[in-house]
Amino acid sequence: MRYSGFRVIAEALTGHKGWKPVWRDPDPQPEYDYIIIGGGGHGLATAYYLAKEFGQARIAVLEKGYLGGGNVGRNTTIIRSNYLLDGNEPFYEFSLKLWEGLEQDFNYNAMVSQRGIINLIHTDAQRDAATRRGNAMILNGADAELLSREQVRALYPWLNFDNARFPIKGAILQRRGGTVRHDAVAWGYARGADMRGVDLIQNCEVTGMRIENGRILGVETSRGYIGAKKVGVAVAGSSSKVMAHAGMRLPIESHVLQAFVSEGLKPLIDGVMTFGAGHFYVSQSDKGGLVFGGDIDGYNSYAQRGNLPVIEDVAEGGMALMPAIGRVRLLRTWGGIMDMSMDGSPIIDRTGIEGLYFNGGWCYGGFKATPASGWCFAHLLAKDESHITARAYRFDRFLKGLMIDEKGQGATPNLH
Amino acid sequence: MIIHHPILGPRDAQEFVYLGDASLIDRPDGMTAGVEAFHDYAYNRDNPAGEHRELWYHEQGDRSWLVVTRNTVTHEISRVELARDVARSRGRSK
């Protein structure tokens, strides 16, 4: 069923009796050409683009729980392409361009809102770094503007500009950045994939991989054995657990990242804002809640909840930046599990096992990458070669010294 | 989280800095181990869901390194040792 304004009016006049389930609930077939493990944003996008852009068929997505029940439903919905390094920026700009056409492409309202993202600057050194990053973005076809203190003040006059330790000196603005309704991204890709014949199989946990002579033959699941010519793993957060079935150890640690939403407020912030002196970022949802977050908790965790010290730290960052929120009550906090990689950048690559492909290591930047991640992973699966924007996301970059370390922290996953 | 320091007793985890898997104690000999072994040591991790032995540094305390055995699913801490003792038990001189 194609969605349109006309369709909504027609259904309104006929008692909404014509709407149908958005996707099927099929039983697994004995064998597929492609199995994608992980029914989150990246896995569903991979299946969608495999079917739509690369003309492949006999595709299944295996999901342990329900579609979109993991990190795609737990993030803070921000999209942007404001990276510095050559390995990253073309990829994230490709992703942002896909976001811009996404709703028309998959005929689903994902509420893509290019409301702009500003990164605040508090020191001269930060201004130099922001200028350099902005130039790198522009060289790669993205947009960036350096704002003066007065230009920031015109946007958000109520920020704490004269904080004694962290005065606001300016900002770098990417107008094309913004937010997207995160669940709708999963639903839109799921619906688009299902319409093109992809089997979306829920409540189907992968419990093993059948590998013979260095080649994958299929996967053992809680719903029986399923054969496959190629298997793509897109389960960021649980990558080490799933790849252990293939005997692989990864350059990844799993960490918990918390996110927060306040009670609903009148319109306060029309874009996305990041504090440059502490780790705090914030936007306002269409329902009025401030959606914000900060650092990961910093220790290995598979619990989808964090601890109080980080909540305190994030609240302190928020108060330093916006004293006006002092009486605002916190409504909810939650946590998601991140694949923190050894250089803070992702991996989209083959493995040493023929037919087994890996997509993960997204740290806490996976949501914005969803369309390009799906596209590039589908490209790799279908053509057996990396997409031009994802060539740097290799497993062997640590061995060869080709790390993509935006923060320059080295092999310390909890500091990226 | 509360870490029961073997010398100082119960301490808030906030006083500590986290490093990672306790296998980092077993650094290969840089002169004899091959590149692959060193790469594996420096970059690859078991990253288990469940019991995990890991290094914590008591930066805002006595600056000792601890090996904490902690469950990564529940955050429950079952054992705390001085990293020095662990290293010596594995044949390291210090």
pLDDT digits (tens, 9 = 90+) for A171-186: 999 999 999 999 999 9
Give residue A361's pLDDT band: very low, low, confident or very high (50, 70, 90).
Answer: very high
Same domain, A151 and A103: no
Same domain, A318 and A258: yes
**pLDDT per residue over A106-153, tens digit each?**
999 999 999 999 999 999 999 999 999 999 999 999 999 999 999 999
Q: Which residue of A has its CA nearest to B52?
A: A300
Give the count of beta carbons closer than 10 Å to the beta carbon of residue A58. Answer: 16
Given a cut of 80, whether residue A196 has pLDDT beyond it is yes
Out of 3.30.2270.10, 3.90.1300.10, 3.10.20.600, 3.40.718.10, the CATH code matching B2-89 is 3.30.2270.10
- Pinpoint the alpha helices (H) of A14-112: 41-52, 89-106
- A404 in a structural domain: yes
- Residue type, position B65, single letter: W
Number of domains observed in the structure of chain A: 2
Q: Choose among A125, A129, A105, A130: nearest CA to A53.
A: A105
- Pinpoint the alpha helices (H) of A196-250: 239-243
Give the count of beta carbons closer than 10 Å to the beta carbon of residue A9. Answer: 10
Set of chain B residues whose Cβ sits within 8 Å of the Cβ of A251: 43-45
Over residues A215-241, mean pLDDT = 98
Residue B47 to residue A300, Cβ atoms within 8 A? yes
Write the CB contacts of A415 (distance below 8 Å, at least 6 apart in sequence).
Answer: A407, A409
Closest partner residue to A299 (CB to CB) among B18, B45, B49 is B18
- Token code pair at residue B47: 């990253």
Chain B 22-51, residues with CB within 8 Å of chain A CB atoms: 35-36, 39-40, 42-49
DSSP A160: -
CA A361 to chain centre: 11
Q: CA A67, CA A89: separation in Å to the nearest integer?
A: 29
Residue B72 to residue A300, Cβ atoms within 8 A? yes
- A239 in a structural domain: yes
Q: CA A213, CA A203: separation in Å to the nearest integer?
A: 30
**pLDDT per residue over A8-36, tens digit each?**
999 999 999 999 999 999 999 999 999 99
Same domain, A156 and A270: yes
Same domain, A156 and A273: yes
Q: CA A314, CA A110: separation in Å to the nearest integer?
A: 28
In whole angstroms, how far apart are CA B33 and each of A407, B28, B40, B43? 29, 6, 11, 15
* CA angle, A388 then A392 then A396, to 5°: 135
Same domain, A191 and A325: no
Q: CA B13, CA A310: separation in Å to the nearest integer?
A: 12
Shortest Cα distance from A115 to chain B (angstroms)? Answer: 36
Q: Which residue of A has its CA nearest to B19?
A: A412
Shortest Cα distance from A301 to chain B (angstroms)? Answer: 4
Same domain, A408 and A302: no
Same domain, A195 and A168: no
In whole angstroms, how far apart are CA B71 and each of A340, B49, B74? 18, 8, 6
pLDDT computed for residue A269 by the predictor: 96
DSSP A67: T
Give residue B58's pLDDT band: very low, low, confident or very high (50, 70, 90).
Answer: very high
Query: Which helix (H) or strand (E) element contains residue B10?
Result: strand B9-12
Set of chain B residues whose Cβ sits within 8 Å of the Cβ of A411: 42-43
- A128 in a structural domain: yes
Closest partner residue to A398 (CB to CB) among B14, B43, B48 is B43
- A112 in a structural domain: no
Residue A241 to residue B49, Cβ atoms within 8 A? yes
Chains A–B, number of C-beta pairs less than 8 Å apart: 67
Same domain, A135 and A258: yes
Given a cut of 90, whether residue B30 has pLDDT beyond it is no
Given a cut of 90, whether residue A1 has pLDDT beyond it is no
Write the CB contacts of A319 (distance below 8 Å, at least 6 apart in sequence).
Answer: A325, A326
- A88 in a structural domain: yes
- Pinpoint the alpha helices (H) of A236-333: 239-243, 308-321
Give residue A64's pLDDT band: very low, low, confident or very high (50, 70, 90).
Answer: very high
Query: Which helix (H) or strand (E) element contains residue A11?
Result: helix A5-13
Same domain, A322 and A198: no
Set of chain A residues whose Cβ sits within 8 Å of the Cβ of B27: none
Given a cut of 80, whether residue B94 has pLDDT beyond it is no
In whole angstroms, how far apart are CA A222 and each of A233, A236, A360? 17, 20, 23
Last residue of a domain, one of A341, A359, A393: A341
**pLDDT per residue over A285-340, tens digit each?**
999 999 999 999 999 999 999 999 999 999 999 999 999 999 999 999 999 999 99
Same domain, A172 and A197: no
- A198 in a structural domain: yes
Last residue of a domain, one of A341, A360, A385: A341
Same domain, A165 and A285: yes
Give the largest CA-CA distance in chain A.
65
Shortest Cα distance from A217 to chain B (angstroms)? Answer: 24
Residue A222 belongs to domain with CATH number: 3.50.50.60
**Which region, left, alpha or beta, applies to residue A299 given φ > 0 means left and ψ of -120 to 50 means alpha?**
beta
Residue B72 to residue A413, Cβ atoms within 8 A? no
Tokens 């038990």 map to which residue?
Answer: B89
Last residue of a domain, one of A341, A376, A397: A341
Closest partner residue to A300 (CB to CB) among B43, B54, B74 is B54
DSSP B44: -
Give the count of beta carbons closer than 10 Å to the beta carbon of residue B73. Answer: 15
Q: CA A48, CA B83: separation in Å to the nearest integer?
A: 49
Are the C-beta atoms of A393 and A347 separated by less than 8 Å? yes
Q: CA A313, CA A260: separation in Å to the nearest integer?
A: 12
Same domain, A138 and A207: no
The range of the structural domain enclosing residue A93 comes to: 5-81+84-107+182-250+343-415
Q: Give strand pairing partners of A264.
A: A289
Shortest Cα distance from A370 to chain B (angstroms)? Answer: 24
Q: Give strand pairing partners of B55.
A: B20, B67
pLDDT computed for residue B93 by the predictor: 80
Give the count of beta carbons closer than 10 Å to the beta carbon of residue B15. Answer: 16
